[in-house]
Structure 1
Protein backbone atom coordinates (compact mmCIF):
# COMPACT_ATOMS: atom_id res chain seq x y z
CA UNK A 1 0.00 0.00 0.00
CA UNK A 2 1.55 3.36 -1.00
CA UNK A 3 2.06 6.04 1.63
CA UNK A 4 -0.53 8.65 0.73
CA UNK A 5 1.30 11.46 2.52
CA UNK A 6 4.42 10.89 0.41
CA UNK A 7 4.81 13.69 -2.13
CA UNK A 8 6.19 11.43 -4.85
CA UNK A 9 3.24 9.06 -4.38
CA UNK A 10 0.78 11.96 -4.65
CA UNK A 11 2.43 13.26 -7.80
CA UNK A 12 2.48 9.77 -9.33
CA UNK A 13 -1.24 9.25 -8.60
CA UNK A 14 -2.13 12.65 -10.00
CA UNK A 15 -0.09 12.02 -13.15
CA UNK A 16 -1.57 8.56 -13.80
CA UNK A 17 -5.13 9.78 -13.37
CA UNK A 18 -4.53 13.12 -15.08
CA UNK A 19 -5.62 14.87 -11.90
CA UNK A 20 -4.70 18.43 -10.98
CA UNK A 21 -5.63 20.08 -7.70
CA UNK A 22 -8.53 22.50 -7.96
CA UNK A 23 -8.45 25.90 -6.28
CA UNK A 24 -12.20 26.04 -6.86
CA UNK A 25 -12.66 23.04 -4.56
CA UNK A 26 -10.07 24.35 -2.08
CA UNK A 27 -7.96 21.21 -2.45
CA UNK A 28 -4.79 20.92 -0.33
CA UNK A 29 -3.56 17.38 0.33
CA UNK A 30 -2.06 16.53 3.72
CA UNK A 31 1.58 15.43 3.53
CA UNK A 32 2.44 15.47 7.24
CA UNK A 33 2.02 11.79 8.24
CA UNK A 34 1.23 12.63 11.88
CA UNK A 35 -1.84 14.79 11.27
CA UNK A 36 -4.53 12.36 10.09
CA UNK A 37 -3.95 9.76 12.84
CA UNK A 38 -4.37 12.56 15.40
CA UNK A 39 -7.64 13.71 13.78
CA UNK A 40 -9.00 10.16 13.67
CA UNK A 41 -8.02 9.53 17.30
CA UNK A 42 -9.52 12.83 18.43
CA UNK A 43 -12.87 11.83 16.94
CA UNK A 44 -13.13 8.92 19.37
CA UNK A 45 -13.88 6.39 16.62
CA UNK A 46 -13.68 2.70 17.46
CA UNK A 47 -15.44 -0.64 16.96
CA UNK A 48 -19.18 -0.21 16.50
CA UNK A 49 -18.86 3.34 15.17
CA UNK A 50 -19.60 4.88 11.80
CA UNK A 51 -17.63 7.75 10.29
CA UNK A 52 -18.96 10.34 7.86
CA UNK A 53 -16.17 12.09 6.00
CA UNK A 54 -16.53 15.21 3.89
CA UNK A 55 -14.07 15.60 1.02
CA UNK A 56 -11.79 12.53 1.15
CA UNK A 57 -9.34 13.83 -1.44
CA UNK A 58 -7.04 10.91 -2.22
CA UNK A 59 -7.90 9.14 1.02
CA UNK A 60 -5.23 10.22 3.52
CA UNK A 61 -7.66 10.77 6.39
CA UNK A 62 -10.09 8.18 5.01
CA UNK A 63 -7.50 5.45 5.48
CA UNK A 64 -7.14 6.32 9.18
CA UNK A 65 -10.89 6.36 9.68
CA UNK A 66 -11.27 2.95 8.02
CA UNK A 67 -8.73 1.50 10.44
CA UNK A 68 -10.86 2.55 13.41
CA UNK A 69 -14.55 2.62 12.44
CA UNK A 70 -16.88 -0.19 11.38
CA UNK A 71 -17.89 1.79 8.30
CA UNK A 72 -16.72 4.97 6.59
CA UNK A 73 -18.88 6.91 4.15
CA UNK A 74 -17.09 9.73 2.34
CA UNK A 75 -18.96 12.46 0.45
CA UNK A 76 -16.99 13.90 -2.47
CA UNK A 77 -18.14 16.56 -4.94
CA UNK A 78 -15.19 16.28 -7.38
CA UNK A 79 -16.18 13.88 -10.18
CA UNK A 80 -12.51 13.33 -11.08
CA UNK A 81 -11.63 11.58 -7.81
CA UNK A 82 -13.57 8.25 -7.79
CA UNK A 83 -11.10 6.34 -10.05
CA UNK A 84 -8.20 7.55 -7.94
CA UNK A 85 -9.95 6.63 -4.67
CA UNK A 86 -10.85 3.22 -6.08
CA UNK A 87 -7.10 2.52 -6.16
CA UNK A 88 -6.05 4.11 -2.87
CA UNK A 89 -8.93 2.62 -0.87
CA UNK A 90 -8.98 -0.80 -2.55
CA UNK A 91 -7.74 -2.50 0.63
CA UNK A 92 -10.70 -1.37 2.76
CA UNK A 93 -14.04 -3.12 2.39
CA UNK A 94 -15.64 -0.84 5.00
CA UNK A 95 -15.34 2.23 2.75
CA UNK A 96 -18.10 3.72 0.62
CA UNK A 97 -17.88 6.78 -1.62
CA UNK A 98 -20.90 9.00 -2.22
CA UNK A 99 -20.41 11.36 -5.15
CA UNK A 100 -22.47 14.39 -4.22
CA UNK A 101 -22.41 17.90 -2.77
CA UNK A 102 -22.59 17.78 1.05
CA UNK A 103 -24.78 20.91 0.98
CA UNK A 104 -27.33 19.18 -1.26
CA UNK A 105 -27.34 15.53 -0.22
CA UNK A 106 -30.10 14.22 2.09
CA UNK A 107 -27.90 13.79 5.15
CA UNK A 108 -30.59 12.39 7.45
CA UNK A 109 -31.53 9.77 4.88
CA UNK A 110 -27.90 8.94 4.16
CA UNK A 111 -27.03 8.46 7.83
CA UNK A 112 -30.07 6.27 8.44
CA UNK A 113 -29.37 4.15 5.38
CA UNK A 114 -25.64 3.69 5.89
CA UNK A 115 -25.21 3.59 9.66
CA UNK A 116 -28.56 2.61 11.17
CA UNK A 117 -28.26 2.85 14.96
CA UNK A 118 -24.45 3.12 15.08
CA UNK A 119 -22.98 6.18 16.80
CA UNK A 120 -21.53 8.44 14.10
CA UNK A 121 -18.64 10.90 14.08
CA UNK A 122 -18.00 13.41 11.30
CA UNK A 123 -14.40 14.00 10.22
CA UNK A 124 -13.02 16.26 7.52
CA UNK A 125 -10.27 18.49 6.25
CA UNK A 126 -12.68 21.24 5.21
CA UNK A 127 -12.08 23.69 2.37
CA UNK A 128 -11.66 27.11 3.94
CA UNK A 129 -14.12 28.87 1.66
CA UNK A 130 -17.09 26.69 2.68
CA UNK A 131 -16.33 25.85 6.33
CA UNK A 132 -19.23 27.72 7.95
CA UNK A 133 -22.01 26.56 5.59
CA UNK A 134 -20.99 22.92 6.02
CA UNK A 135 -20.70 23.09 9.81
CA UNK A 136 -23.98 24.96 10.19
CA UNK A 137 -25.80 22.45 8.02
CA UNK A 138 -24.44 19.59 10.12
CA UNK A 139 -25.57 21.31 13.32
CA UNK A 140 -28.84 22.95 12.31
CA UNK A 141 -30.35 19.77 10.89
CA UNK A 142 -29.95 18.11 14.29
CA UNK A 143 -28.51 14.99 12.74
CA UNK A 144 -27.85 11.83 14.78
CA UNK A 145 -24.12 12.49 15.11
CA UNK A 146 -22.01 12.44 18.27
CA UNK A 147 -19.23 14.82 17.31
CA UNK A 148 -17.58 16.70 14.46
CA UNK A 149 -13.77 16.75 14.23
CA UNK A 150 -12.50 18.97 11.42
CA UNK A 151 -9.48 20.88 10.24
CA UNK A 152 -10.20 24.50 9.30
CA UNK A 153 -8.32 27.79 8.97
CA UNK A 154 -6.89 28.76 12.37
CA UNK A 155 -8.68 32.11 12.43
CA UNK A 156 -11.99 30.36 11.74
CA UNK A 157 -11.21 27.76 14.43
CA UNK A 158 -10.67 30.48 17.02
CA UNK A 159 -13.95 32.16 16.10
CA UNK A 160 -15.88 28.89 16.06
CA UNK A 161 -14.57 27.97 19.51
CA UNK A 162 -14.81 31.44 21.10
CA UNK A 163 -17.02 31.58 24.17
CA UNK A 164 -20.17 33.70 23.79
CA UNK A 165 -19.88 36.92 25.74
CA UNK A 166 -16.16 37.38 24.96
CA UNK A 167 -14.43 39.81 22.60
CA UNK A 168 -13.33 37.01 20.27
CA UNK A 169 -16.90 35.78 19.69
CA UNK A 170 -18.93 36.37 16.54
CA UNK A 171 -22.39 35.31 15.43
CA UNK A 172 -21.05 31.89 14.39
CA UNK A 173 -19.63 31.37 17.92
CA UNK A 174 -23.11 31.66 19.40
CA UNK A 175 -24.61 29.28 16.85
CA UNK A 176 -21.92 26.68 17.52
CA UNK A 177 -22.28 27.04 21.30
CA UNK A 178 -26.05 26.56 20.99
CA UNK A 179 -25.68 23.21 19.23
CA UNK A 180 -22.33 21.88 20.48
CA UNK A 181 -19.45 22.14 22.93
CA UNK A 182 -16.42 23.24 20.88
CA UNK A 183 -12.76 22.67 21.61
CA UNK A 184 -9.65 23.76 19.70
CA UNK A 185 -7.33 20.73 19.71
CA UNK A 186 -4.12 21.63 17.85
CA UNK A 187 -2.72 23.81 15.07
CA UNK A 188 -1.26 22.64 11.75
CA UNK A 189 1.44 24.54 9.89
CA UNK A 190 1.19 25.37 6.13
CA UNK A 191 4.09 23.02 5.34
CA UNK A 192 1.89 20.06 6.31
CA UNK A 193 0.00 20.46 3.03
CA UNK A 194 0.59 20.18 -0.69
CA UNK A 195 0.36 22.78 -2.01
CA UNK A 196 1.08 24.79 1.13
CA UNK A 197 -1.71 27.27 1.93
CA UNK A 198 -0.85 30.81 2.99
CA UNK A 199 -2.43 30.39 6.43
CA UNK A 200 -2.10 28.18 9.50
CA UNK A 201 -4.81 25.57 10.09
CA UNK A 202 -6.29 24.12 13.27
CA UNK A 203 -8.23 21.02 14.24
CA UNK A 204 -11.37 21.48 16.32
CA UNK A 205 -13.88 19.07 17.80
CA UNK A 206 -17.54 19.91 18.32
CA UNK A 207 -19.35 17.60 20.73
CA UNK A 208 -23.00 17.80 19.72
CA UNK A 209 -25.29 18.67 22.62
CA UNK A 210 -28.31 16.44 23.29
CA UNK A 211 -30.18 19.63 24.24
CA UNK A 212 -29.34 23.34 23.71
CA UNK A 213 -28.02 25.12 26.84
CA UNK A 214 -30.81 27.70 26.61
CA UNK A 215 -34.51 27.00 26.35
CA UNK A 216 -36.43 28.40 23.40
CA UNK A 217 -39.53 27.11 21.64
CA UNK A 218 -38.41 25.45 18.38
CA UNK A 219 -40.47 27.93 16.37
CA UNK A 220 -38.37 30.79 17.81
CA UNK A 221 -34.95 29.38 16.88
CA UNK A 222 -34.90 31.00 13.45
CA UNK A 223 -35.75 34.42 14.91
CA UNK A 224 -33.20 33.89 17.70
CA UNK A 225 -30.33 33.38 15.25
CA UNK A 226 -31.55 36.23 13.04
CA UNK A 227 -31.39 38.42 16.16
CA UNK A 228 -27.78 37.42 16.85
CA UNK A 229 -26.74 37.88 13.20
CA UNK A 230 -28.30 41.34 13.22
CA UNK A 231 -26.43 42.26 16.40
CA UNK A 232 -23.08 41.22 14.93
CA UNK A 233 -23.70 42.78 11.52
CA UNK A 234 -22.64 46.09 13.08
CA UNK A 235 -20.58 45.04 16.07
CA UNK A 236 -19.05 48.49 16.59
CA UNK A 237 -22.50 49.78 17.47
CA UNK A 238 -24.47 48.97 20.57
CA UNK A 239 -26.51 45.78 20.33
CA UNK A 240 -29.67 47.91 20.45
CA UNK A 241 -28.69 49.98 17.42
CA UNK A 242 -27.39 47.01 15.43
CA UNK A 243 -30.51 44.90 16.12
CA UNK A 244 -32.87 47.77 15.31
CA UNK A 245 -31.06 48.41 12.01
CA UNK A 246 -30.52 44.76 11.12
CA UNK A 247 -34.11 43.64 11.79
CA UNK A 248 -35.76 46.94 10.75
CA UNK A 249 -37.32 47.33 14.18
CA UNK A 250 -38.15 50.56 16.05
CA UNK A 251 -35.25 51.26 18.38
CA UNK A 252 -37.71 51.97 21.18
CA UNK A 253 -39.02 48.41 20.88
CA UNK A 254 -35.52 46.95 21.12
CA UNK A 255 -34.69 49.13 24.13
CA UNK A 256 -37.93 48.08 25.81
CA UNK A 257 -37.06 44.41 25.21
CA UNK A 258 -33.56 44.90 26.63
CA UNK A 259 -35.05 46.52 29.74
CA UNK A 260 -37.64 43.75 30.10
CA UNK A 261 -34.87 41.15 29.87
CA UNK A 262 -32.84 42.96 32.53
CA UNK A 263 -30.02 43.83 30.14
CA UNK A 264 -27.82 46.91 29.76
CA UNK A 265 -29.25 49.02 26.94
CA UNK A 266 -25.69 50.16 26.06
CA UNK A 267 -24.26 46.63 25.77
CA UNK A 268 -22.13 45.73 22.75
CA UNK A 269 -23.09 42.62 20.76
CA UNK A 270 -20.15 40.54 22.05
CA UNK A 271 -20.90 41.43 25.68
CA UNK A 272 -24.18 39.48 25.75
CA UNK A 273 -24.18 35.77 26.55
CA UNK A 274 -26.19 33.07 24.82
CA UNK A 275 -28.75 33.08 27.65
CA UNK A 276 -29.03 36.87 27.48
CA UNK A 277 -29.75 36.77 23.75
CA UNK A 278 -32.37 34.11 24.47
CA UNK A 279 -33.90 36.38 27.14
CA UNK A 280 -33.92 39.25 24.65
CA UNK A 281 -35.60 37.07 22.03
CA UNK A 282 -38.27 36.05 24.54
CA UNK A 283 -38.82 39.69 25.49
CA UNK A 284 -39.20 40.75 21.85
CA UNK A 285 -41.66 37.91 21.28
CA UNK A 286 -43.61 38.92 24.37
CA UNK A 287 -43.89 42.48 23.10
CA UNK A 288 -45.10 41.18 19.71
CA UNK A 289 -47.70 39.03 21.44
CA UNK A 290 -49.09 42.05 23.28
CA UNK A 291 -49.43 44.21 20.18
Structure 2
Protein backbone atom coordinates (compact mmCIF):
# COMPACT_ATOMS: atom_id res chain seq x y z
CA UNK A 1 0.00 0.00 0.00
CA UNK A 2 1.26 3.47 -0.88
CA UNK A 3 1.85 5.89 1.95
CA UNK A 4 -1.51 7.20 3.12
CA UNK A 5 0.07 10.54 4.07
CA UNK A 6 0.92 11.29 0.44
CA UNK A 7 -1.21 14.12 -0.95
CA UNK A 8 -1.38 12.38 -4.32
CA UNK A 9 -2.51 9.12 -2.70
CA UNK A 10 -5.20 10.91 -0.69
CA UNK A 11 -6.52 12.63 -3.82
CA UNK A 12 -6.53 9.28 -5.64
CA UNK A 13 -8.49 7.60 -2.85
CA UNK A 14 -11.12 10.31 -2.50
CA UNK A 15 -11.58 10.58 -6.27
CA UNK A 16 -11.88 6.81 -6.75
CA UNK A 17 -14.46 6.61 -3.95
CA UNK A 18 -16.43 9.73 -4.78
CA UNK A 19 -15.68 11.12 -1.33
CA UNK A 20 -16.65 14.69 -0.50
CA UNK A 21 -15.18 16.55 2.48
CA UNK A 22 -17.82 17.51 5.02
CA UNK A 23 -17.30 20.80 6.77
CA UNK A 24 -19.48 19.74 9.71
CA UNK A 25 -16.95 17.02 10.61
CA UNK A 26 -13.91 19.28 10.34
CA UNK A 27 -12.15 16.90 7.93
CA UNK A 28 -8.53 17.74 7.16
CA UNK A 29 -6.13 14.89 6.34
CA UNK A 30 -2.49 15.05 7.42
CA UNK A 31 0.02 15.01 4.53
CA UNK A 32 3.24 15.78 6.41
CA UNK A 33 5.35 12.69 7.25
CA UNK A 34 7.49 14.64 9.72
CA UNK A 35 4.45 15.64 11.76
CA UNK A 36 3.05 12.11 11.55
CA UNK A 37 6.30 10.73 12.97
CA UNK A 38 6.19 13.24 15.84
CA UNK A 39 2.66 12.16 16.73
CA UNK A 40 3.62 8.48 16.70
CA UNK A 41 6.75 9.11 18.76
CA UNK A 42 4.74 11.12 21.28
CA UNK A 43 2.32 8.22 21.77
CA UNK A 44 5.23 5.85 22.52
CA UNK A 45 2.93 3.12 21.21
CA UNK A 46 4.25 -0.40 20.74
CA UNK A 47 3.08 -4.01 20.89
CA UNK A 48 2.12 -3.58 24.54
CA UNK A 49 -0.22 -0.68 23.74
CA UNK A 50 -3.87 -0.32 22.83
CA UNK A 51 -4.65 3.02 21.24
CA UNK A 52 -8.03 4.68 20.92
CA UNK A 53 -7.97 6.80 17.78
CA UNK A 54 -10.68 9.38 17.18
CA UNK A 55 -11.18 10.61 13.63
CA UNK A 56 -8.92 8.30 11.58
CA UNK A 57 -9.64 10.04 8.27
CA UNK A 58 -8.44 7.58 5.62
CA UNK A 59 -6.44 5.63 8.21
CA UNK A 60 -3.00 7.26 8.01
CA UNK A 61 -2.18 7.30 11.74
CA UNK A 62 -3.94 4.02 12.54
CA UNK A 63 -1.90 2.15 9.94
CA UNK A 64 1.40 3.58 11.17
CA UNK A 65 0.51 2.71 14.78
CA UNK A 66 -0.47 -0.80 13.71
CA UNK A 67 2.89 -1.21 11.98
CA UNK A 68 4.47 -0.63 15.39
CA UNK A 69 2.43 -3.50 16.80
CA UNK A 70 -0.18 -1.49 18.68
CA UNK A 71 -3.81 -2.57 18.83
CA UNK A 72 -5.85 0.33 17.46
CA UNK A 73 -9.55 1.09 17.90
CA UNK A 74 -10.42 3.71 15.28
CA UNK A 75 -13.70 5.60 15.75
CA UNK A 76 -15.12 7.29 12.63
CA UNK A 77 -18.45 9.09 12.43
CA UNK A 78 -18.62 9.61 8.65
CA UNK A 79 -20.28 6.63 6.98
CA UNK A 80 -18.77 7.52 3.60
CA UNK A 81 -15.27 6.95 5.03
CA UNK A 82 -16.08 3.48 6.40
CA UNK A 83 -15.58 1.52 3.13
CA UNK A 84 -12.34 3.44 2.49
CA UNK A 85 -11.07 2.60 5.95
CA UNK A 86 -12.14 -1.04 5.68
CA UNK A 87 -10.05 -1.37 2.52
CA UNK A 88 -7.05 0.47 3.95
CA UNK A 89 -7.16 -1.65 7.12
CA UNK A 90 -7.40 -5.01 5.30
CA UNK A 91 -3.78 -5.97 6.01
CA UNK A 92 -3.92 -4.99 9.69
CA UNK A 93 -5.94 -7.34 11.93
CA UNK A 94 -4.79 -5.28 14.92
CA UNK A 95 -6.95 -2.34 13.76
CA UNK A 96 -10.59 -2.44 14.87
CA UNK A 97 -12.89 -0.01 13.09
CA UNK A 98 -15.88 1.47 14.94
CA UNK A 99 -18.52 3.44 13.07
CA UNK A 100 -19.88 5.89 15.63
CA UNK A 101 -19.86 9.29 17.29
CA UNK A 102 -16.81 9.67 19.55
CA UNK A 103 -18.87 11.79 21.94
CA UNK A 104 -21.31 8.90 22.42
CA UNK A 105 -19.18 5.76 22.15
CA UNK A 106 -18.53 4.00 25.46
CA UNK A 107 -14.72 3.99 25.72
CA UNK A 108 -14.76 1.92 28.88
CA UNK A 109 -16.79 -0.85 27.26
CA UNK A 110 -14.25 -1.04 24.43
CA UNK A 111 -11.06 -0.81 26.45
CA UNK A 112 -11.90 -2.37 29.83
CA UNK A 113 -10.66 -5.84 28.71
CA UNK A 114 -7.17 -4.38 28.26
CA UNK A 115 -6.85 -2.94 31.77
CA UNK A 116 -3.81 -4.50 33.37
CA UNK A 117 -2.90 -6.18 30.09
CA UNK A 118 -1.82 -3.29 27.88
CA UNK A 119 -0.88 0.39 28.14
CA UNK A 120 -4.01 2.35 27.26
CA UNK A 121 -3.49 5.46 25.14
CA UNK A 122 -5.35 7.96 22.97
CA UNK A 123 -4.29 9.46 19.64
CA UNK A 124 -6.66 11.80 17.85
CA UNK A 125 -6.91 14.51 15.25
CA UNK A 126 -9.74 16.35 16.96
CA UNK A 127 -12.40 18.20 14.98
CA UNK A 128 -11.99 21.75 16.23
CA UNK A 129 -15.67 22.29 16.96
CA UNK A 130 -15.78 19.51 19.56
CA UNK A 131 -12.22 19.66 20.91
CA UNK A 132 -13.05 20.64 24.49
CA UNK A 133 -15.98 18.23 25.07
CA UNK A 134 -13.95 15.37 23.58
CA UNK A 135 -10.95 16.12 25.79
CA UNK A 136 -13.13 16.01 28.89
CA UNK A 137 -15.01 12.90 27.79
CA UNK A 138 -11.64 11.16 27.55
CA UNK A 139 -10.28 12.55 30.82
CA UNK A 140 -13.46 11.84 32.76
CA UNK A 141 -13.79 8.25 31.54
CA UNK A 142 -12.70 5.94 34.33
CA UNK A 143 -9.81 4.25 32.53
CA UNK A 144 -6.09 4.12 33.39
CA UNK A 145 -5.00 6.27 30.45
CA UNK A 146 -1.22 6.40 30.20
CA UNK A 147 -1.09 9.24 27.71
CA UNK A 148 -3.30 11.27 25.39
CA UNK A 149 -1.82 12.66 22.17
CA UNK A 150 -4.02 15.12 20.33
CA UNK A 151 -3.94 17.28 17.23
CA UNK A 152 -5.90 20.44 17.91
CA UNK A 153 -6.14 24.12 17.09
CA UNK A 154 -2.92 25.87 18.12
CA UNK A 155 -4.79 28.47 20.18
CA UNK A 156 -6.46 25.79 22.31
CA UNK A 157 -3.17 23.92 22.85
CA UNK A 158 -1.53 27.15 24.01
CA UNK A 159 -4.34 27.75 26.47
CA UNK A 160 -4.01 24.26 27.91
CA UNK A 161 -0.23 24.69 28.38
CA UNK A 162 -0.40 28.27 29.70
CA UNK A 163 1.22 29.33 32.98
CA UNK A 164 -0.53 31.33 35.73
CA UNK A 165 -0.60 35.06 35.13
CA UNK A 166 -0.93 35.05 31.35
CA UNK A 167 -3.93 35.88 29.19
CA UNK A 168 -4.14 32.29 27.88
CA UNK A 169 -4.37 30.82 31.39
CA UNK A 170 -7.96 29.96 32.24
CA UNK A 171 -10.43 27.35 33.44
CA UNK A 172 -9.44 24.95 30.64
CA UNK A 173 -5.78 25.17 31.72
CA UNK A 174 -6.54 24.38 35.35
CA UNK A 175 -8.99 21.59 34.53
CA UNK A 176 -6.67 19.72 32.15
CA UNK A 177 -3.69 20.13 34.50
CA UNK A 178 -5.75 18.56 37.26
CA UNK A 179 -5.76 15.32 35.27
CA UNK A 180 -2.28 15.39 33.77
CA UNK A 181 0.77 17.28 32.53
CA UNK A 182 0.32 18.71 29.03
CA UNK A 183 3.25 19.30 26.68
CA UNK A 184 3.09 21.05 23.32
CA UNK A 185 5.03 18.67 21.07
CA UNK A 186 5.07 20.70 17.89
CA UNK A 187 3.22 23.42 16.02
CA UNK A 188 1.61 22.31 12.76
CA UNK A 189 1.16 24.75 9.86
CA UNK A 190 -2.11 24.67 7.95
CA UNK A 191 -0.33 23.45 4.80
CA UNK A 192 0.44 20.16 6.56
CA UNK A 193 -3.16 19.15 5.82
CA UNK A 194 -5.31 18.50 2.78
CA UNK A 195 -7.44 20.47 2.47
CA UNK A 196 -5.70 23.22 4.44
CA UNK A 197 -7.67 24.59 7.42
CA UNK A 198 -7.79 28.32 8.04
CA UNK A 199 -5.81 28.12 11.27
CA UNK A 200 -2.60 26.50 12.46
CA UNK A 201 -2.66 23.43 14.68
CA UNK A 202 -0.50 21.79 17.33
CA UNK A 203 0.24 18.32 18.64
CA UNK A 204 -0.35 18.11 22.39
CA UNK A 205 0.62 15.24 24.64
CA UNK A 206 -0.90 14.79 28.10
CA UNK A 207 0.80 12.42 30.52
CA UNK A 208 -1.83 11.44 33.07
CA UNK A 209 -1.07 12.11 36.74
CA UNK A 210 -0.58 8.95 38.77
CA UNK A 211 -1.87 10.95 41.73
CA UNK A 212 -4.14 13.97 41.28
CA UNK A 213 -3.84 17.00 43.52
CA UNK A 214 -6.07 16.46 46.54
CA UNK A 215 -9.52 18.07 46.49
CA UNK A 216 -12.30 17.07 48.86
CA UNK A 217 -14.95 17.37 46.17
CA UNK A 218 -14.06 17.20 42.48
CA UNK A 219 -17.38 18.59 41.28
CA UNK A 220 -17.03 21.58 43.60
CA UNK A 221 -13.45 22.10 42.38
CA UNK A 222 -14.58 22.43 38.77
CA UNK A 223 -17.52 24.65 39.74
CA UNK A 224 -15.19 27.03 41.57
CA UNK A 225 -12.77 27.15 38.62
CA UNK A 226 -15.59 27.96 36.20
CA UNK A 227 -17.03 30.61 38.52
CA UNK A 228 -13.65 32.21 39.24
CA UNK A 229 -12.92 32.70 35.52
CA UNK A 230 -16.47 33.68 34.58
CA UNK A 231 -15.58 37.37 34.23
CA UNK A 232 -11.83 37.64 33.89
CA UNK A 233 -11.62 41.34 34.69
CA UNK A 234 -13.38 40.93 38.01
CA UNK A 235 -11.53 40.08 41.20
CA UNK A 236 -11.57 36.57 42.60
CA UNK A 237 -13.73 37.71 45.51
CA UNK A 238 -16.39 39.28 43.31
CA UNK A 239 -16.54 36.30 40.98
CA UNK A 240 -16.87 33.84 43.86
CA UNK A 241 -19.91 35.74 45.12
CA UNK A 242 -21.69 34.18 42.13
CA UNK A 243 -21.52 30.83 43.90
CA UNK A 244 -24.42 32.29 45.91
CA UNK A 245 -23.54 30.46 49.13
CA UNK A 246 -21.36 32.92 51.06
CA UNK A 247 -21.66 36.68 51.44
CA UNK A 248 -18.82 39.09 50.79
CA UNK A 249 -17.62 39.22 54.39
CA UNK A 250 -17.70 35.43 54.76
CA UNK A 251 -15.79 34.95 51.52
CA UNK A 252 -13.25 37.60 52.42
CA UNK A 253 -12.60 35.95 55.77
CA UNK A 254 -12.29 32.53 54.15
CA UNK A 255 -9.76 33.80 51.60
CA UNK A 256 -7.73 35.51 54.33
CA UNK A 257 -7.68 32.25 56.32
CA UNK A 258 -5.88 30.49 53.45
CA UNK A 259 -3.65 33.48 52.57
CA UNK A 260 -5.26 34.25 49.23
CA UNK A 261 -5.89 37.91 48.50
CA UNK A 262 -9.46 38.37 47.27
CA UNK A 263 -8.39 41.29 45.09
CA UNK A 264 -6.37 38.94 42.88
CA UNK A 265 -7.79 37.74 39.60
CA UNK A 266 -8.36 34.06 38.88
CA UNK A 267 -5.61 33.95 36.25
CA UNK A 268 -3.00 34.52 38.98
CA UNK A 269 -3.94 31.44 41.02
CA UNK A 270 -2.07 28.17 40.72
CA UNK A 271 -3.89 24.84 40.60
CA UNK A 272 -2.69 24.23 44.16
CA UNK A 273 -4.37 27.44 45.29
CA UNK A 274 -7.62 26.44 43.58
CA UNK A 275 -7.45 23.12 45.43
CA UNK A 276 -6.82 24.94 48.71
CA UNK A 277 -9.79 27.23 48.02
CA UNK A 278 -12.03 24.28 47.16
CA UNK A 279 -11.18 22.44 50.35
CA UNK A 280 -11.73 25.55 52.47
CA UNK A 281 -15.19 26.13 50.97
CA UNK A 282 -16.02 22.44 51.33
CA UNK A 283 -15.09 22.56 55.02
CA UNK A 284 -17.73 25.25 55.53
CA UNK A 285 -20.47 24.22 53.13
CA UNK A 286 -19.84 20.60 52.21
CA UNK A 287 -21.07 19.50 48.79
CA UNK A 288 -23.58 21.83 47.17
CA UNK A 289 -25.28 22.15 43.84
Q: Distance in 1 between matches of 2:264 and 2:92?
A: 55
Shift in Å, 1:264: 0.6
The answer to whether structure 1 residue 215 and structure 2 residue 211 are counterparts is no
The answer to whether structure 1 residue 54 and structure 2 residue 54 are counterparts is yes
Q: Per-residue CA shift, 1:190-217, capped at 9, x if unaligned?
A: 11111111111111100011111x2123
Q: Which residue of 2 aligns with 1:81?
A: 81
The answer to whether structure 1 residue 44 and structure 2 residue 40 are counterparts is no
Greater shift, 5-14 or 70-79, is seen at 5-14
Shift in Å, 1:167: 4.2
The TM-score, its normalising length taken from structure 1, stands at 0.93
Q: 1:248 aligns with which of 244, 251, 269?
A: 244
Q: Distance in 1 between matches of 2:273 and 2:34?
A: 42
Q: 1:227 aligns with which of 224, 228, 252?
A: 224
Q: Distance in 1 between matches of 2:264 and 2:135?
A: 29
The answer to whether structure 1 residue 257 and structure 2 residue 254 are counterparts is yes
1:242 counterpart SS class: helix
List structure 1 segments (4+ residues) > 4 angstroms apart after TM superposition: 164-167
In the alignment, structure 1 segments of 5+ residues that lack a partner are none
Q: Distance in 2 between matches of 1:115 and 1:102?
A: 20
1:21 counterpart SS class: coil
2:79 counterpart SS class: coil
Q: Distance in 2 between matches of 1:24 and 1:7?
A: 22
Over 3 Å counting, the alpha-carbon distance change for 1:164 and 1:138 in structure 2 is farther
Greater shift, 228-237 or 66-75, is seen at 66-75
For the aligned residues, what is the CA RMSD? 1.6
Q: Distance in 2 between matches of 1:285 and 1:115?
A: 33
Shift in Å, 1:254: 2.4
The answer to whether structure 1 residue 282 and structure 2 residue 279 are counterparts is yes
1:254 counterpart SS class: helix
Q: Which residue of 1 aligns with 2:236?
A: 239
Shift in Å, 1:15: 2.2
Over 3 Å counting, the alpha-carbon distance change for 1:79 and 1:254 in structure 2 is farther
Shift in Å, 1:48: 1.4
In the alignment, structure 2 segments of 5+ residues that lack a partner are none
Q: Per-residue CA shift, 1:39-65, capped at 9, x if unaligned?
A: 011111112111111110101111111
Shift in Å, 1:168: 2.9
